[in-house]
Structure 1
Amino acid sequence: MTTKLEQLQTALGTALGERVSTVVALGEITLTVKQADYYAVMQTLRDDATLGFEQAIDLCGVDYLTYGEGAWDGQRFAVVIHLLSLKYNWRVRVRCFASDDEMPVFPSLTPLWRCLNWFEREAFDMFGILFENHNDLRRILTDYGFIGHPFRKDFPVSGYVEMRYDPEQKRVIYQPVTIEPRENVPRVIREENYGIK
């Protein structure tokens, strides 16, 4: 472990104490936070002078439904945030699991980092993760009438509906998916001198 990584781990332990569990792997620190402490820990990471994580780089949702080939027995949905301290030039990953698998809800971090607005909208759109007090939580990548959340592991690969342009109605229409299954068997070329010049 590098000296800088040791310094960061010490600073995190001092500032956050027992509110997080820390894992160091491949030269990176990952903090796992309980949902009850999520917002307070994130605010400490930003405001504590010894940490100084003033920049949020990324926020994404994760669905652990089939993680480890179904061996996962923890909570299903999580939010992962990557933070950067420009002052100290160090990074940290924060992971928090939703306590309710049926309706994952987290406090919005947009009051702390405004740049997470669209990241939270994407996590909502793709995973169905709700963010309380988000001022504009609506779909960002799928259509407004889209049903479901496509990055969930239980979402069907073919989806539920498809859209196409109907020349008779002169507009885009939605209809149930009409994918016809087909057999994808590769054709094998057998030539005696194939590839030899």
Structure 2
Amino acid sequence: MTKLETLQENLRAVLGAGLQLTEALGEVTLVVPAERLIAVCTTLRDHPDLRFQSCMDVCGVDYATYRNGIEPAPARFASVIHLLSLEHNWRLRVRTFAPEDAFPVLPSLIDVWPSVNWFERESFDLYGILYEGHPDLRRILTDYGFIGHPFRKDFPLTGNVEMRYDEDQKRVVYQPVTIEPREITPRVIREDSYGAGR
């Protein structure tokens, strides 16, 4: 039995048979409903057969235009948690979908793994996912006056506002974006016999 098969068997034994588990590219992904996320993650951390003591990353995902060839994702926004078990030398990806697309809210995992603090802030800043129970959920990469969430699929490529230092006012000011859209067409000039053996 391979290490990944052992991991999946342990996950089913500990969490129950009705799990949504997939294996792809040498990693196991577990999909957890948002309402069970804290309980499942606490078990993943504490159970001796799993022992995922370390949360390596939490990232947001916008599945707005996602199609896997068969069906769309079950919801637009998801939080993906990357876990590591040092004791068993296993990695696990946990995905949970926000129940509402218009106002994505998920439970914070800060009480399970304190290391998720800045990861959840980044996901909030870039995707607008609110982590309920997070003690300091504020922007971390964009400016506090920034409008929108730049990693969402519907965010305009040029942004909404730009900022600059105004010499007259002696402060930073925000103004509507003034970038003129233009098309850049590269010119490639090749000989008719380009690539032919000489």
The normalised TM-score by structure 2 is 0.90
Alignment deviations for residues 112-132 of structure 1 (CA, whole Å, 9 cap, x no partner): 111100000001000110111
With 48-57 and 64-73 compared, the bigger mean Cα shift is at: 64-73
| Structure 2 equivalent of residue 128 of structure 1 | 128
Alignment deviations for residues 50-69 of structure 1 (CA, whole Å, 9 cap, x no partner): 10000000100000001129
> Counterparts of 1:135 and 1:163 in 2: how far apart (Å)?
29
After TM superposition, give the deviation of residue 191 of structure 1 in Å: 7.5
| Structure 2 equivalent of residue 186 of structure 1 | 186
After TM superposition, give the deviation of residue 46 of structure 1 in Å: 0.3
Q: 1:75 to 1:190 in 2, by over 3 A?
A: closer
The residue identity in structure 1 corresponding to 2:85 is S
After TM superposition, give the deviation of residue 103 of structure 1 in Å: 1.1
Q: 1:129 to 1:19 in 2, by over 3 A?
A: farther
Instruction: Kindly indicate whether the alpha-carbon contact (under 8 Å) linking 1:19 and 1:41 is maintained by their aligned counterparts in 2.
Output: no
SS state at 2:146 partner: coil
After TM superposition, give the deviation of residue 181 of structure 1 in Å: 1.8
SS state at 2:52 partner: coil
Q: How many residues end up aligned between the 2 structures? A: 194
> Counterparts of 2:39 and 2:18 in 1: how far apart (Å)?
10
| Structure 1 equivalent of residue 4 of structure 2 | 5
SS state at 2:94 partner: strand
After TM superposition, give the deviation of residue 26 of structure 1 in Å: 2.2
Alignment deviations for residues 142-161 of structure 1 (CA, whole Å, 9 cap, x no partner): 11111111111111111100
Instruction: Kindly indicate whether the alpha-carbon contact (under 8 Å) linking 2:21 and 2:31 is maintained by their aligned counterparts in 1.
Output: yes
Alignment deviations for residues 50-94 of structure 1 (CA, whole Å, 9 cap, x no partner): 100000001000000011299625210000001000001111100
The residue identity in structure 1 corresponding to 2:155 is F
With 151-160 and 16-25 compared, the bigger mean Cα shift is at: 16-25
The residue identity in structure 2 corresponding to 1:187 is R
> Counterparts of 1:188 and 1:166 in 2: how far apart (Å)?
42
With 56-65 and 166-175 compared, the bigger mean Cα shift is at: 166-175
Instruction: Kindly indicate whether the alpha-carbon contact (under 8 Å) linking 2:66 and 2:73 is maintained by their aligned counterparts in 1.
Output: no
The residue identity in structure 2 corresponding to 1:53 is F
The normalised TM-score by structure 1 is 0.91
The residue identity in structure 1 corresponding to 2:152 is R
Q: Which runs of 5+ in 2 are unaligned?
A: none
Q: 1:73 to 1:120 in 2, by over 3 A?
A: closer
> Counterparts of 1:73 and 1:81 in 2: how far apart (Å)?
17
Instruction: Kindly indicate whether the alpha-carbon contact (under 8 Å) linking 2:63 and 2:73 is maintained by their aligned counterparts in 1.
Output: no
After TM superposition, give the deviation of residue 21 of structure 1 in Å: 0.7
| Structure 2 equivalent of residue 45 of structure 1 | 44
Residues 158-169 of structure 1: matches in 2 within 5 Å? Answer: 158-169=158-169
> Counterparts of 2:112 and 2:165 in 1: how far apart (Å)?
43
- Root-mean-square deviation (CA, aligned residues, Å) is 2.2
The residue identity in structure 2 corresponding to 1:44 is T
Q: 1:191 to 1:12 in 2, by over 3 A?
A: closer
| Structure 2 equivalent of residue 83 of structure 1 | 83
After TM superposition, give the deviation of residue 36 of structure 1 in Å: 1.6
Instruction: Kindly indicate whether the alpha-carbon contact (under 8 Å) linking 1:161 and 1:177 is maintained by their aligned counterparts in 2.
Output: yes
| Structure 2 equivalent of residue 14 of structure 1 | 13
| Structure 2 equivalent of residue 176 of structure 1 | 176
Instruction: Kindly indicate whether the alpha-carbon contact (under 8 Å) linking 1:47 and 1:53 is maintained by their aligned counterparts in 2.
Output: yes
